[in-house]
Structure 1
Amino acid sequence: MKLVIPKFHGAKLADIPDDQLTEILPTLKKLVSATGATDYNILQNNGTIAHQQVHHIPKPNETEGLGVNWPTSAGDMDKLKALCEEIKTKM
């Protein structure tokens, strides 16, 4: 998943000035091309009814509270940096 976020903060799309929106789709297009994505979704949600809210669940220590238990692995930082640079050059 990739996030493309305008620099101007607006609670909803209609709150963002037009001149701040003009770079969004061209940036998405460049990102799609740079990553080689062939099938993808572009989503834009607004407001709490669109589930744009953050729930904070307390986690007082390592054993209590909600945990995320899917398998993870450490990334090779050199490979990730190289991938990041490759994508940047394509954009």
Structure 2
Amino acid sequence: MVIPKSHAANVFEIDDELLAHAHIVAKKVATALKEATGCEGVNILQNNGEIAGQSVFHLHIHVIPRYSKDDANIKWTPGTQDVDKLNAIAEKVQKIL
């Protein structure tokens, strides 16, 4: 787990430079974890808000080793959403950005 020393509850509150640094550290941790454990892959996960699974309200990044027969259930299936709805959301996000 990567935990910035400076407090920010979530991605919406953290300084951009601190977030960038935290992800650089997460990459280093993932690389070391893969070498140390021989895992086949790594999930890098960061939850924002209770509905998204956040239970500790200080930004932190999980670095999770993965193996072909593990029982971790971190799934999202691309292509199962309504394309028209996704396009409408994308247009709104582009206008906000």
Sort the TM-score into its range (normalised by shorter chain): 0.3 to 0.5
Q: TM-score, normalised by structure 1?
A: 0.48
Which protein is bigger by CA-based radius of gyration?
A: 1
Q: TM-score, normalised by structure 2?
A: 0.45
